[in-house]
Structure 1
């Protein structure tokens, strides 16, 4: 059954509404004059209503806050599932869910982006192809599409509502290949156009879709300037650095990228090294894509993580926060074992006799774990990672970030919601693990909450 909400009711109160998803969303829009912020569908555990709900519709809980006269905004809402095995965000039985890595499909919206390019520079695509295999010879869906659409801001909010996710941080699709651009001037123009478009079409449309800028890493000074503009003027939470690409001058432990790290420290923003383009990782001669996809994502982020750790980037920039996304979680135990073993067997000094890499009294594995504890190193995980529990044991729960990857892998909201439910029911994760990886880690990494 549906329920009409009084549009003048602005005082703080909780509504328990038994209704279908569509009618509730309409009621919430009437009250707040904007997109609904339904964070959760919860199952009631109260004896008096449980039998009714089992035979009727799900129960929704939304916490509305008072707001000044004339203010238009989202209702405050929190997510949760009414089961004792699932962590609670606060004393009201509700848990927040933050998507640390979703995607938009800017190539499908090329006509929109072209207007942000300088006159005379319009072209069909801002970015090169990801690689020679990414979309070749794939089995196409029955509808003939590539398997995922190009959701706009409104469709993104609808997805968040349907999956009980509070907010998401979006990354590009074609723009994952920004590191492949070799013409420096074009890299600067393309990143600026993408960032302006992302701001106007997504970030400025709803506080529930956050943006991460693209940077022209081909010119680190220009990248630092664009990072400042994107954060201060466009409201981005930080920026993405591509894990691979012909246009990247060196690994991210190199001093040429110090200006980017210095600016990120000043701004207090996040930097995310994101996989997606798998050139020059030893996989170029493969003639089928799935092993390239399987290995390319973790290989790319592992290489850049090792570069930044071994070349002292986090020690030189003690307030820098970096995330390594879309490589899954299970590379972490392997990485820690290999880095620690090699550190003890192959410690190096420079020409002045100074140690290269982490503090010799600390070692590689302890350096990684310390940065995790300090809230400075984060890792995105695939929600169906079977080894997630072990990765948390080895690397620490404070590191891992939930990623929907929508619309890339979870092609619809139902699939994503099902995967979330399965994760929340896992017995190898503690309540504290679940709360950390589903919300608090992302909040700390991005240092943001919905406006």
Structure 2
């Protein structure tokens, strides 16, 4: 079975010089993105402390103004990253430019790709930055992405990035997304600046998203400089990475559920990416059978259906190749609510390839496979090509 795949989670790699070109000059002067390069003296120091393990050049460390871009980006993580850096370098370079991005898509049978940031999201959601800086970076990234996708807008689909530092600006930001002709936006699932998705400042924003048929994507990540599941308990990349994506996705769903966003906006579409899908049956079962019936009077205003019914009505979720329990996911929410995303070119997913993808999703029927790899992305993102 040959399919032209719709990649619901593909990434660009933002070249460093884009900020000088697209960012507001005053913001760029006061809060530039800089790199701290490894040098021979620090390498010698590492070798003295760590022996042969420290005898390698570390990747650059990014700084925004005087603030580190990534949280808990320790020396151990940098060393581990340097060990794997070469195997992923060509893919990361390819993602910087639209022509090479398209060539990499051709190599993987990707017909259409929905594009997300790699670094810009870490800047825009950085809790140490003023709201106006976060907003300026989101605007600069979106203008760069618009030019990037203009090379082939039929295949390169922009997913807009929004700043949540000051929620009262969200509707204004959304106006620009709509003016660009884009159909989807990306939000981090975490609490940003102390506010989750149920705060009153979000009410008009959700209504505007529904009115203009804007699909909302939640896409998490590890090492964000904001409270992320696992980051206050662990310092290791292993533990933080295990927690951040799936746990934040589950909590984002609950935030929308208990605050009545699903109930008030039945046509609003949400997707949870790069968190796997196996959490869905367990989470919905727990919400339906333990949490929802416990004290019905506490939730009756905002939750009038079973939590699983809201998910089946309004939510999509991305699968991981080789992930267990996908048959249970289909039985819970249906094959029409599953998406495929490559996460290209990020190193934690480079070993998952589209080669022989039908066998990798061997439990799926031909119709289910076509849903996951093509049809569902068209439905969720409002593809009209």
Indicate the TM-score class for this superposition, using the shorter chain for normalisation.
0.7 to 0.9
Deviates more, 1:171-180 or 1:266-275: 171-180
Q: Which residue of 1 aligns with 2:78?
A: 136
**1:166 corresponds to 2:166:** no
- Using the alignment, how far apart are the partners of 1:290 and 1:212 within structure 2? 28
Retained in 1: the 8 A contact 2:27–2:136? no
**Structure 2 counterpart SS, 1:281:** coil
How much has 1:189 moved relative to structure 2?
0.6
**Structure 2 counterpart SS, 1:380:** strand
**Structure 1 counterpart SS, 2:246:** helix
Q: Which residue of 2 aligns with 1:316?
A: 264
**Change in CA separation of 1:380 and 1:131 when aligned onto 2, cut-off 3 Å:** farther
**Change in CA separation of 1:392 and 1:248 when aligned onto 2, cut-off 3 Å:** farther
Equivalent of 2:202 in 245, 249, 257: 257
- Using the alignment, how far apart are the partners of 2:268 and 2:323 within structure 1? 27
How much has 1:437 moved relative to structure 2?
1.0
Q: Which residue of 2 aligns with 1:11?
A: none
**1:119 corresponds to 2:25:** yes
**Structure 2 counterpart SS, 1:379:** strand
Retained in 2: the 8 A contact 1:358–1:367? no
1:131-184 per-position Cα deviation (integer Å, ceiling 9, x unaligned):
214853424346657755132111111111111111100111112323224411
1:70-120 per-position Cα deviation (integer Å, ceiling 9, x unaligned):
xxxxxxxxxx43xxxxxxxxxxxxx342000111122xx121232111223
Q: Which residue of 2 aligns with 1:40?
A: none
**Structure 2 counterpart SS, 1:283:** coil
Deviates more, 1:439-448 or 1:135-144: 135-144
**Change in CA separation of 1:386 and 1:409 when aligned onto 2, cut-off 3 Å:** farther
Name the structure where helix makes up a greater proportion of residues.
Answer: 2
Q: Which residue of 2 aligns with 1:154?
A: 99
1:25-81 per-position Cα deviation (integer Å, ceiling 9, x unaligned):
xxxxxxxxxxxxxxxxxxxxxxxxxxxxxxxxxxxxxxxxxxxxxxxxxxxxxxx43
How much has 1:335 moved relative to structure 2?
0.7
Q: Which residue of 2 aligns with 1:344?
A: 293
Equivalent of 1:237 in 172, 183, 191: 183
Two-structure CA RMSD over aligned residues (Å): 2.5
Equivalent of 2:365 in 430, 439, 451: 430
1:328-369 per-position Cα deviation (integer Å, ceiling 9, x unaligned):
01110121122112111132437xxxx24321xx32223323
Rg larger for: 1
Q: Which residue of 2 aligns with 1:194?
A: 141
Retained in 2: the 8 A contact 1:228–1:263? no
**Structure 2 counterpart SS, 1:367:** helix
**Structure 2 counterpart SS, 1:417:** coil
- Using the alignment, how far apart are the partners of 1:96 and 1:363 within structure 2? 36
Retained in 2: the 8 A contact 1:383–1:404? no
**1:104 corresponds to 2:12:** yes
Retained in 2: the 8 A contact 1:310–1:356? no
Retained in 2: the 8 A contact 1:179–1:244? no
**Change in CA separation of 1:280 and 1:165 when aligned onto 2, cut-off 3 Å:** closer
Equivalent of 1:368 in 297, 302, 311: 311
Q: Mind listing any 5+ residue stretches in structure 2 that lack a counterpart?
A: 35-62
> Number of residue pairs matched?
340
Alignment of 1:199-278 (within 5 A): 199-232=146-179, 234-244=180-190, 247-277=192-222
Equivalent of 2:355 in 388, 393, 418: 418
How much has 1:390 moved relative to structure 2?
1.9
How much has 1:256 moved relative to structure 2?
1.8
TM-score (norm 2): 0.81
Pick 1 or 2: higher relative contact order, CA cutoff 8 A, min separation 6: 2
Retained in 2: the 8 A contact 1:105–1:149? yes
Alignment of 1:168-187 (within 5 A): 168-177=113-122, 178-181=124-127, 182-187=129-134
Q: Mind listing any 5+ residue stretches in structure 1 that lack a counterpart?
A: 1-79, 82-94
Retained in 2: the 8 A contact 1:228–1:267? no
**Structure 1 counterpart SS, 2:353:** helix
**Change in CA separation of 1:121 and 1:367 when aligned onto 2, cut-off 3 Å:** closer
**Structure 2 counterpart SS, 1:120:** helix
1:304-333 per-position Cα deviation (integer Å, ceiling 9, x unaligned):
111101221022122211111111011101
Alignment of 1:383-394 (within 5 A): 383-394=321-332
- Using the alignment, how far apart are the partners of 2:347 and 2:277 within structure 1? 16
